[in-house]
């Protein structure tokens, strides 16, 4: 489309004279070299950022707001003219020195630096004068919010109805070719300015201290030469912005409405002709030769003063820009509003602990999941071609909009993994995400750019924000529950993942493995193992089951925990994504090894396809584990040693081995009560809390668990047998008898007892520091692990006094702790698997 000819033809039909466009070279509308930063966006200047208002109800209100917009435009034009005048101020002096023996700039350089700037000044001077002359007769600005009544405001509204300005805007749109010439020349001009700034002190003094008036208040702003050269690039999009806002507040019956529509069409056609594949669309020249380029973008939740906002985050080579996406629905232009930005220079990242979720939050999230599931099921039932304007089509469209609203709410309230950003300027922001894999990708991307980055000139944030409309790589928030594509290649059913072990560590370390599954958000998709004891080849043998719908990828991360006493945070050692192919997964376990950088993890996968039940409106209540038979707890968790025992033992070994009086000293009762509640309601939250509380509270909750078992870990019916075994004088024969008795215990009791015994022996190995030898540990745990039978009315039992009972309880545990040939404990049920090597 020849936009310029269209504009000229239309102007001639309206009897509006058209001035010839100055400049040399090709037709300014033929080439596509328009920088991306000049893409239309409704966020441009503070003066144009009008507040959101409800639908206008009266013609007078609409006309009043139209006048407000026009006066704001007039003020903005005056500031821009002052900036152009300031830019042109040194042109005569530079031209004069060009013919001397020591020129600052050559004549050709002066022509390049100021190319088309006088024409731009003249173009906007005429526009400003014409608009001012038409607005002055209407008198000073009034605000309908403060002066809503009749009288002068009403008269002004009636005069405003007859005010026409469309011809002025149509004329300036027709001359956008002047800007095209400037844009084509811009990089050459900036190159000269930078070169001279570095080599000529006279020009540097000039280029770094140019003052321009800010409008009617006579205040002045200090600019650099380069910043002023950048103003026309910013200004060219304001024409479209102005037309958009003005048309919005112009009544349809107004004589300007049709003219403004045509001007807006021509302006948008000019912008749509931009070559979107040009590299300069993602790059803006910064100081010292740096190039600003968009590296990554995505949707995150910004936590500010307790509130949550779904924001679009843009990572450039020198800064982070946070914006809020508005609009973008069908038939509407996507809009961005600036939220905040942080320079990457000196930026510190902190991966904080997972935020706690209240009961109300859990219920709200599960309620949204259930509603999303049901709504998607209804939409799938109607996924067939229907007439575009039929009732069924309108019903489907309403359902899609409702689904989009639900998912946006879910995306806003479900993330709880915080990434804290701390700038040297004392500005801090917290982003929360729902995926550790995504969080680590952001952290890695930011970390790669924060090395030697030095920002010397603040960015033009308004222009940078306006570029987001076309620069974004993530087109929309990940609202995908209504998309049917690729479902035949995804998983729907139960995916089981067993994390076995890891190897490849250079030195012993404490770590855990996180597992994430993608797909629709209807069910829980994340899990993590407990922390391993410091080891170069940790073992977990922990199994997880996921209800998956639309899953295509499994993400695995290995996270290193800091050593005791270190102030650093958890660190991701490696991560990988495994593609889930339904054709290759089986209903039996399939073992494979995956490489995550230097660490190699062995895991097993099993997939059972089946229809899924709808998620409940209320979160599924976890079965309590305290005061419950240990066999029932282990069966529920699919293990041989309950998670509460393993988690507490591993946490004590991580940071309590040198704690004086560990297992003997008590902790705050409130800490232990809170931990008990957490283990009874949410294992994941309990594991997080273990890492934060006093280590004596960790040892205290472990003792409490054994103490509150309805049946002791060592069955009561074996008490008398243990008493007799203790009377065997030969130590070797006694050991054989004791081990035989232990083998007669149920598998869960036996392996849990062995797991605890090996732990207590490791604690005793540090008795020179923690002052807890084997006898002290046996004294603490004996009464909890072994109990005498309770006398039943009417039944005779051998009389045993209480002091003797305690002696037996302590001696049994002490005897086992002295054994050198204790068998190893199995923590999980062995998996019958095939072995497959995969990297």
pLDDT at 106: 85
Q: Is the pLDDT of residue 825 over 70?
A: yes
pLDDT at 261: 86
**Among candidate residues 75, 29, 315, the one with its CA nearest the CA of residue 181:** 29
pLDDT at 800: 52
Pull the structure tokens for residue 118: 């006088």
List of domains in the chain: 3-17+56-274 (1.20.900.10), 287-355+416-471 (2.30.29.30), 485-620 (2.60.40.150)
- At 534, phi and psi to the nearest 5? -50, 115
Q: Is the pLDDT of residue 736 over 50?
A: yes
Q: What is the spatial distance between Cα 735 and Cα 740, in angstroms, rounded to a whole number?
A: 9
Q: What is the spatial distance between Cα 640 and Cα 241, in angstroms, rounded to a whole number?
A: 67
- Four-CA torsion 526, 530, 531, 536, nearest 10 degrees: -90
Q: What is the spatial distance between Cα 120 and Cα 110, in angstroms, rounded to a whole number?
A: 16
| Better-scored residue on pLDDT, 554 or 297 | 554
pLDDT at 286: 47
Pull the structure tokens for residue 746: 């149920």
| Better-scored residue on pLDDT, 235 or 506 | 506
Q: What is the spatial distance between Cα 340 and Cα 322, in angstroms, rounded to a whole number?
A: 5
Q: For 754, which DSSP code?
A: H
Distance of CA 17 to the CA centre of its chain: 53
* Averaged pLDDT, 202-221: 72
Buried b / exposed e across 209-219, counting CB within 10 Å, b at 16+? ebebbeeeeee
CB 35 within 8 A of CB 233: yes
pLDDT (tens digit per residue) in 310-365 = 888 989 888 898 988 775 554 455 667 888 888 888 888 988 888 877 778 878 88
> What proportion of the chain, given as a percentage, has pLDDT over 70?
76
pLDDT (tens digit per residue) in 758-805 = 999 999 999 999 999 999 999 999 999 998 887 544 445 555 555 678
pLDDT (tens digit per residue) in 751-762 = 999 999 999 999
Q: Is the pLDDT of residue 280 over 70?
A: no
CB 539 within 8 A of CB 549: no
Q: Is the pLDDT of residue 735 over 70?
A: yes
The β-bridge relationship of strands 834-837 and 590-596 is parallel
Residue 569: band (very low, low, confident or very high) from pLDDT cuts 50, 70, 90: confident
Q: What is the spatial distance between Cα 552 and Cα 554, in angstroms, rounded to a whole number?
A: 7
Q: How many CB atoms lie within 10 A of CB 16?
A: 16
Strands of 539-551's sheet in order across: 539-551, 491-503, 599-609, 590-596, 834-837
Residue 34: band (very low, low, confident or very high) from pLDDT cuts 50, 70, 90: very low
Pick from 176-190, 630-644, 673-687: least confident: 176-190
**Among candidate residues 434, 429, 389, the one with its CA nearest the CA of residue 412:** 434
* Averaged pLDDT, 696-716: 94
Please list, in sequence order, all residues whose beta carbon lies within 8 angstroms of the beta carbon of residue 359, skipping any fewer than 6 positions away.
none
Q: What is the spatial distance between Cα 332 and Cα 464, in angstroms, rounded to a whole number?
A: 21
Q: Is the pTM of this model over 0.75?
A: no
Q: Is the pLDDT of residue 48 over 60?
A: no
Pull the structure tokens for residue 221: 């702003």
pLDDT at 65: 84
Pick from 23-37, 530-544, 631-645: least confident: 23-37
| Better-scored residue on pLDDT, 592 or 6 | 592
| Better-scored residue on pLDDT, 10 or 267 | 267
Give counts: helices (H), strands (E), the chain.
27, 19
Q: What is the spatial distance between Cα 557 and Cα 332, in angstroms, rounded to a whole number?
A: 40
Q: Is the pLDDT of residue 700 over 90?
A: yes
HSE-up of residue 389 (Cα within 13 Å, Cβ side): 0
pLDDT at 255: 87
Residue 478: band (very low, low, confident or very high) from pLDDT cuts 50, 70, 90: low
pLDDT at 339: 86
- Strand blocks (E) in 327-385: 335-343, 348-351
């Amino acid at each position: 489309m020849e936009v310029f000819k269209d504009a000229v033809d239309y102007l001639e039909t309206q009897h509006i004279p058209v001035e010839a466009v100055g400049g040399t070279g090709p037709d300014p509308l033929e080439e596509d070299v328009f920088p991306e930063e000049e893409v239309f966006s409704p966020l441009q200047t503070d003066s144009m950022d009008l507040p959101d208002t409800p639908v206008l109800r009266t013609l007078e209100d609409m006309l009043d707001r139209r006048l407000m917009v026009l006066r704001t435009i007039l003020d903005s034009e005056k500031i821009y003219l002052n900036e152009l005048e300031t830019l042109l101020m040194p042109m005569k002096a530079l031209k004069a020195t060009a013919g001397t023996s020591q020129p600052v700039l050559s004549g050709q350089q002066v022509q390049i630096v100021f190319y088309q700037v006088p024409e731009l000044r003249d173009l906007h001077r005429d526009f400003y004068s014409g608009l001012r002359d038409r607005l002055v007769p209407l008198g000073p600005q009034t605000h309908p919010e403060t002066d809503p009544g009749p009288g002068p405001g009403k008269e002004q509204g009636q005069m405003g109805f007859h005010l026409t300005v469309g011809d002025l805007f149509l004329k300036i749109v027709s001359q956008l070719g002047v800007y095209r010439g400037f844009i084509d020349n811009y990089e050459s001009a900036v190159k000269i300015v930078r070169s001279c700034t570095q080599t000529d002190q006279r020009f540097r003094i000039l280029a770094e201290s140019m003052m321009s008036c800010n409008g009617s208040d006579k205040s002045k702003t200090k600019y650099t030469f380069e910043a002023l050269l950048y103003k026309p690039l910013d200004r060219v999009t304001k024409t479209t912005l102005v037309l958009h806002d003005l048309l919005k507040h112009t009544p349809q019956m107004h004589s300007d409405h049709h003219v403004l529509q045509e001007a807006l069409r021509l302006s948008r056609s000019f912008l749509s002709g931009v070559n979107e594949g040009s590299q300069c669309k993602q790059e803006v020249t910064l100081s010292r030769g740096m190039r600003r380029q968009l590296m990554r973008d995505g949707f995150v939740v910004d936590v500010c003063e307790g509130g949550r906002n779904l924001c679009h985050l843009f990572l450039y080579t020198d800064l982070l820009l946070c914006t809020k996406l508005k609009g973008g629905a069908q038939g509407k232009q996507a809009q961005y509003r600036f939220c905040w930005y942080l320079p990457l220079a000196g930026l510190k990242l902190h991966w904080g602990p997972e935020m706690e979720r209240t009961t109300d939050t859990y219920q709200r999230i599960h309620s949204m999941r259930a509603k999303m599931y049901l709504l998607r099921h209804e939409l799938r039932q109607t996924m067939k071609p229907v007439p575009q304007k039929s009732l069924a089509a309108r019903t489907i469209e309403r359902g899609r909009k409702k689904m989009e609203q639900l998912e946006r709410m879910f995306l806003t309230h479900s993330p709880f993994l915080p990434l804290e950003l701390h700038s040297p300027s004392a500005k801090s922001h917290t982003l929360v995400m729902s995926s550790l894999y995504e969080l680590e990708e952001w952290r890695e991307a930011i970390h790669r750019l924060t090395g030697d980055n030095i920002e010397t000139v603040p960015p033009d944030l308004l222009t940078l924000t306006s570029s987001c409309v076309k620069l974004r790589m993530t087109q929309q928030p990940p609202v995908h529950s209504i998309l049917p594509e690729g479902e035949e290649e995804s998983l729907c059913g139960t995916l089981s993942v067993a994390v076995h072990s890891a190897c490849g560590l250079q030195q012993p370390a404490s770590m855990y493995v996180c597992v994430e599954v993608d797909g629709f958000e209807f069910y829980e998709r994340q899990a993590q193992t407990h922390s391993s004891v410091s080891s170069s080849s940790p073992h977990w043998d922990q199994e997880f089951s996921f209800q998956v719908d639309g899953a295509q990828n499994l993400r695995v991360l290995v996270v290193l925990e800091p050593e005791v006493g270190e102030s650093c945070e958890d660190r991701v050692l490696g991560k990988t994504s495994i593609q889930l192919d339904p054709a290759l997964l089986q209903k039996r376990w399939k073992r494979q090894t995956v490489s995550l950088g230097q660490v190699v993890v062995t895991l097993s996968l099993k997939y059972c396809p089946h229809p899924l039940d709808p998620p409940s409106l209320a979160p599924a209540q976890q079965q309590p584990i305290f005061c419950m038979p240990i066999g029932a707890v282990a069966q529920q968790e699919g293990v041989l040693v309950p998670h509460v025992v393993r988690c507490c033992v591993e946490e004590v070994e991580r940071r309590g081995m040198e704690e004086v009086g560990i297992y003997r000293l008590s902790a705050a009762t409130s800490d232990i009560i809170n931990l008990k509640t957490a283990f009874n309601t949410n294992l994941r939250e309990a594991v997080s809390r273990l890492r934060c509380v006093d280590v004596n509270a960790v040892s205290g909750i472990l003792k409490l668990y054994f103490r509150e078992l309805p049946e002791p870990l060592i069955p009561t019916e074996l008490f008398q047998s243990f008493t007799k075994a203790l009377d065997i004088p030969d130590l070797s024969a006694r050991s054989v008898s004791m081990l035989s008795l232990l083998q007669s215990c149920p598998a869960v009791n036996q392996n849990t007892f062995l797991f605890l015994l090996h732990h207590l022996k490791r604690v005793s190995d540090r008795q020179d520091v923690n002052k807890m030898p084997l006898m002290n540990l046996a004294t603490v745990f004996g009464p909890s692990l072994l109990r005498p039978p309770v006398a039943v009315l009417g039944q005779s039992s051998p009389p045993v006094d209480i002091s003797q009972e305690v002696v037996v309880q302590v001696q049994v545990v002490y005897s086992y702790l002295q054994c050198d040939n204790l068998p190893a404990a199995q923590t999980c049920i062995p998996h019958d698997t095939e072995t497959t090597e995969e990297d």
